[in-house]
Amino acid sequence: MLKISTPKTAKSKRVLEKRAPKLVENGKKTLILQGTKTSNILNSVLTEIYHLKRDSAVRFTRKNENIRPFESGGETSLEFFSLKTDCSLFVFGSHSKKRPNNIVIGRTYDHHIYDLVEVGVENFKTMDSFSYEKKIAPHVGSKPFFAFIGEGFESIEELKHLKEVLLDLFRGEVVENLNLAGVDRVFVCTAVSSNRVFFTHCALRLKRSGTIVPRMELVEVGPSMDLVIRRHRLPNDSLRKEAMKTSAEKPKKKEKNVSRDAVQGKIGKIYIPDQKVGGMALSNKVKGLKRERRESKLKNSAGDHRSKKQKSDSN
Amino acid sequence: MELQEQKYQMVQIDLGNLMAYDRHHHFPSVPSERGELVKECLQKGTELVQAIADVLFNLPSTEDRDGPIVQLPPPTTRLPREKHLPKPKPPTKWELFAQKKGIKKRKKDKIVYDEQTGTWKRRYGYDRVNDDKDVPIIETKMTDEPGEDPFAKRKEEKKKRVEKQEKNRLQNLKQAVKVGALPSHVQLAATALPITGTQSAPKKVTKDELGNVAGMAATSTASGGKFDKKLPGEKPAKHPGKYRKFLPVVEGTGMGSQEKQQTDKVLSKLLSKHSHEILDVNKAVTMFNVKKEKKRKNQQGKFSSTSSKLKPKKAAHKKSSKKGFSKKGSSKGQTK
C-alpha cells in the first residue's frame, strides 16, 4: 500500500522545491568533515576553507570512523550526508602516518560519488599569519578570480583533474551580472612540479591607471599551502557524459501583464500604485519669497528631498 | 590586434568563471627558496589577473549605484552538474484521454452563480456552489426505496467519488515514479504491508502481548534466553524457565513432611483419574454415616489394633469414593 505524502507547511514545500533537480541549478554547497584522526594543521586547513566558503558550506565537527572515500563500502555515510545537507562537494580531512595531513576533495552526482582527488597539505600558512591592511580584505561571498600557472595543468592527468575540482570548489555561484567594484580576491595555483601545486589566496588591489582598466596588485591574505597529489579517481565515462549533459532549451519565461486579443492585438496592463494625495510633498517653488531667496532655495534643494518648513517672511 | 592575439595564445581566459590559465609557463628550475617561489608565483598571477581585467573592464557596462555592472558571458569550461536533468512528467490517464478525444481545457471562472441560494459563490472551497449542506429538500423519485436516506446517499456517493479520484491520482504518481519524474514535493511512502488475500487493518499490539512474544522469542534460543543481552530498562522474564521443583535433601523444621505431601498429591491425582467423575450424593451420604458410626464405636471401645497405617489409605479411598462414583451407583437413596 502506498501513501501519498505532501508537505504540510509552505516552508517545507519551498525547501523541497529548492532541492529538486532543476534546469539551471543552484550553487553547489560543500560539506567539510573529518575522519578518525586529525592534526592541528588539518583542523586549521578545514576551518579556513570553511571561512572562505562561509555561506555555501556546512561544517561537521565530529569524527566519522566509517568514512573511507576510496574504498567501496566506505562511501555510504558520505552519500547519506550529501543527501541530507544537499551538498554536492565534500572536503574530507584525515591524518595518518602513511598519509599525513590528508584531504580528499570529492564531488557527487545525484548524491552518489562522482569523482575524488586526494591531496596532502604541506607548508600551510593560516590567514592570521599574513598581515595586510584591513581595507583590502576580501568580502565573504565575492566572486573570485582564478590564475592557473604551469603547463602541468594540461599535460598531467591528475593536475588536470585537480584544476577542475579546485575551480568547482571555489567558484561560487554562476552569475550573469557582475559588479566590477566588487572584485577583490584571486586564487593562484602554480604547478611547481608534476605532483605539487602551490595554492594561495590573494586580495586584489585596483590601482588607478590611465585607462579604464585598473592596474591589478596582488596581496597575499589568505591560506597558502602546497598540495601534493596522492590519489585520484576519475568518473567513469557514462557517468561523466550524463553529468555533463546540458539542455539546449532555455526555461520559458512567461511574459507578465501581456495578453493578446483578437480584436485589439497585443494588450498590456500597467498597475499604478495609489497616489496618496494628502501625504505628497509640496513643490519647492515657493511663491512667497523674494527672488534671491527663491533662487538660492532652488539651487540648494536640487536633489535634496527634505521638506523644509516654510519661513513666513515678513520682509 | 596582433598583440591581443599573441596574448591570447599565451593565456587562456574563461570569462564566465573569471579564470586565466597560462599553459606555456614552466619552471626551468624550481626556486629552492620558498620566498622566491612565492614571489614568482605572485608575479605570474598578477600578469594573468591583469589579462582577465583587460577583457573584463572593456565589456559594455551599465552604471548602477554600487558600481559598474557588466554582463558576463557563460563559462566555457564545462563542469558536471550536481543533479540529473529534470525529466518531463508523463501524461496522466485523463490527459491521454483528452488528447485522444480532442478535449481542450477551458478557463473556468472562480466565482459562479449558485442557483440554489441565488448568490455568487466560489466554484470550489469554503463557500461553494452546489454544496451538500445547502440542499434543504430532496424530492423522492419512483425508483427510491422506502428505508433510504437520500442525504446520506448523497454523502456516500461523494465519498466514493473522492476515493476513486485518490486512487487514480495514486496510479498516475506511480506511473511518474516509474519514469523517474515524481514531482519534487510529493513523496510516496509505503504503509503497512498487507497480508496476501485479506485486507486486515494493522492490529495495534499491546504491551503485554509484546512482552509475551519477547519472552517466547527469548526462550526459543539455545540457552533458553538466560544469557541474552538485556536492554537498559528491560524487565526480567516473567517465566524464569524452571519447571521442575526438587525437594530439599535435608528437611528443615517447621512445616510437615514435604515428601509426604508430594506423594499424597500424586496418589490422589492417580486415584481420582481412575475413578469416575460423577458424584452420587446418596452413596456419599451413606458412606459418611457409616464412617461416623464406626468412629463412635471406636471411641467407645478401645483403640483399634488395626494400624493407623491403614487409616490414611482408607482416607484416600474415601476421598476418591467421594469424588467419583460409578454410574452403576444406585440412584435410589438409602438413607438411614
Query: Which secondary-structure segment (H or E) carries B327?
Result: none
d(CA A230, CA A116): 11
Query: Which of B49, B54, B64 lies closest to A147 in CB terms?
Result: B49
In-domain check, residue A264: no
Alpha helices in B105-206, H assignment, sequence order: 150-179
- Parallel, antiparallel or unpaired: strands A102-109 and A89-94: antiparallel
- A19 burial (CB, 10 Å; 0-12 / 13-18 / 19+) is middle
In-domain check, residue A150: yes
Residues of chain B in contact with residue A88, where contact means CB-CB under 8 angstroms, are 82-83
pTM greater than the 0.95 cutoff: no
> Is A10 part of the contact surface with chain B (CB cutoff 8 Å)?
no
Alpha helices in A196-247, H assignment, sequence order: 237-244
Q: What is the mean pLDDT of each run of 10 residues along chain A (315 residues)?
A: 89 93 90 93 94 92 91 90 94 94 94 94 92 87 90 90 94 88 90 90 89 89 92 92 83 84 90 86 71 77 56 49
Per-residue pLDDT, A20: 92
d(CA A155, CA A164): 14
Residues of chain B in contact with residue A1, where contact means CB-CB under 8 angstroms, are 190-194
Q: What are the residues whose beta carbons fall under 8 Å from the beta carbon of A214, sequence distance 6 or more?
A: A206, A207, A208, B53, B57
Contact across the interface for A3 and B75, Cβ inside 8 Å: no
**For B64, nearest residue in chain A (alpha carbons):** A179
- Mean pLDDT of chain B, nearest integer: 80
Average pLDDT over residues B205-232: 82
DSSP state of A276: -
Band (B255; pLDDT cuts 50, 70, 90):
low
- Nearest partner of A222 among A84, A19, A96, A51, judged by Cα: A51
pLDDT for B61 beyond 50: yes
Using alpha carbons, list the distances in angstroms from residue A86 to A78, A92, A212, B79: 11, 16, 42, 18
Q: Are B183 and B177 in contact (CB under 8 A)?
A: no
- The dihedral built from the CA positions of residue B97, B102, B105 and B106, taken in this order, carries a sign that is negative
Contact across the interface for A235 and B80, Cβ inside 8 Å: yes
| Unique residue bearing C-alpha cell 527663491 | A294
pLDDT for B27 beyond 80: no
> Is A248 part of the contact surface with chain B (CB cutoff 8 Å)?
no
Contact across the interface for B23 and A176, Cβ inside 8 Å: no
Contact across the interface for A220 and B64, Cβ inside 8 Å: no
> Is A213 part of the contact surface with chain B (CB cutoff 8 Å)?
yes
Per-residue pLDDT, B96: 95
Q: Are B121 and B127 in contact (CB under 8 A)?
A: yes
**For B40, nearest residue in chain A (alpha carbons):** A190
- Nearest partner of A110 among B177, B83, B183, judged by Cα: B83
Contact across the interface for A245 and B81, Cβ inside 8 Å: yes
pLDDT for B336 beyond 60: no
Contact across the interface for B78 and A244, Cβ inside 8 Å: yes
In-domain check, residue A279: no
Q: What are the residues whose beta carbons fall under 8 Å from the beta carbon of A227, sequence distance 6 or more?
A: A119, A120, A121, A162, A196, A197, A198, A199
The CA-based diameter of chain A, rounded to the nearest angstrom, is 94
Query: Which of A153, A178, A218 lies closest to B45 in CB terms?
Result: A218
| Unique residue bearing C-alpha cell 491403614 | B310
**For A108, nearest residue in chain B (alpha carbons):** B82
- Which is more confident, B144 or B175? B175
Contact across the interface for B82 and A28, Cβ inside 8 Å: yes
Per-residue pLDDT, A119: 95
Per-residue pLDDT, B327: 47
> Is A24 part of the contact surface with chain B (CB cutoff 8 Å)?
no
Average pLDDT over residues B211-227: 82
Residue B13, min C-alpha distance to chain A (Å):
9
Most B CBs within 10 Å, among A12, A190, A215, to test the B interface: A190
**For B77, nearest residue in chain A (alpha carbons):** A164
Contact across the interface for A151 and B42, Cβ inside 8 Å: no
Q: Are A129 and A234 in contact (CB under 8 A)?
A: no
**For A249, nearest residue in chain B (alpha carbons):** B85
d(CA B84, CA A245): 9
pLDDT for B166 beyond 80: yes
Band (B280; pLDDT cuts 50, 70, 90):
confident
pLDDT tens per residue across span B283-322: 889 999 999 999 999 888 766 555 555 555 544 454 444 4
Residues of chain B in contact with residue A13, where contact means CB-CB under 8 angstroms, are 185
Q: What is the dihedral of CA A117, A120, A123, A125, to 10 degrees?
A: 60
Per-residue pLDDT, B324: 45
Percent of the residues in chain B that have a pLDDT greater than 90, as a whole number: 21
Residue B19, min C-alpha distance to chain A (Å):
4
Residue A94: which CATH number? 3.40.50.10480
Average pLDDT over residues B5-32: 75
| Total domains in the fold of chain A | 1
> Is A15 part of the contact surface with chain B (CB cutoff 8 Å)?
no
Domain region containing A239: 25-174+182-243
d(CA A251, CA B130): 40
Contact across the interface for A1 and B85, Cβ inside 8 Å: no
Q: Are A150 and A158 in contact (CB under 8 A)?
A: no
Q: What is the ipTM of this complex?
A: 0.77
Per-residue pLDDT, B190: 80
Residues of chain B in contact with residue A190, where contact means CB-CB under 8 angstroms, are 37, 41, 44-45
In-domain check, residue A120: yes
- B267 burial (CB, 10 Å; 0-12 / 13-18 / 19+) is middle
pLDDT tens per residue across span B198-212: 666 667 788 888 888
Average pLDDT over residues B74-97: 91
| Unique residue bearing C-alpha cell 535433601 | B249
Neighbours of B268 (CB within 10 A): 14
**Residue ranges of E strands in A234-306:** 258-261, 265-268
- Mean pLDDT of chain A, nearest integer: 88
> Is A153 part of the contact surface with chain B (CB cutoff 8 Å)?
yes
pLDDT for B169 beyond 90: yes
d(CA B100, CA B94): 10
Residue A313, min C-alpha distance to chain B (Å):
39
Neighbours of B64 (CB within 10 A): 12
**For B196, nearest residue in chain A (alpha carbons):** A1
- Which is more confident, A102 or B4? A102
Average pLDDT over residues B76-105: 92
Residues of chain A in contact with residue B72, where contact means CB-CB under 8 angstroms, are 175-178
d(CA A216, CA A185): 11
Band (B237; pLDDT cuts 50, 70, 90):
low
Contact across the interface for B80 and A154, Cβ inside 8 Å: no
**For B180, nearest residue in chain A (alpha carbons):** A21
- Nearest partner of A118 among A228, A44, A31, judged by Cα: A228
Query: Which secondary-structure segment (H or E) carries A215?
Result: strand A215-233
**Residue ranges of E strands in A86-184:** 89-94, 102-109, 112-125, 145-149, 177-179
Contact across the interface for B19 and A1, Cβ inside 8 Å: no
Complete DSSP assignment for A161-196: HHHHHHHHHH-----SEEEGGG--EEEEEEE-SSSE
In-domain check, residue A221: yes
Query: Which of B30, B80, B187 lies closest to A244 in CB terms?
Result: B80
In-domain check, residue A139: yes
Contact across the interface for A5 and B187, Cβ inside 8 Å: yes
Residues of chain B in contact with residue A193, where contact means CB-CB under 8 angstroms, are 27, 30
In-domain check, residue A131: yes
What 3-state class would DSSP assign to B168?
A: helix
pLDDT for B161 beyond 70: yes
Most A CBs within 10 Å, among B30, B82, B177, to test the A interface: B82
Band (B174; pLDDT cuts 50, 70, 90):
very high
pLDDT for B1 beyond 50: no
Per-residue pLDDT, A304: 60
Per-residue pLDDT, B320: 46
In-domain check, residue A128: yes
- How many Cα atoms sit within 13 Å of A66 on the Cβ side? 8
Alpha helices in chain B, H assignment, sequence order: 2-10, 34-57, 93-101, 150-179, 207-219, 258-274, 281-300, 310-323
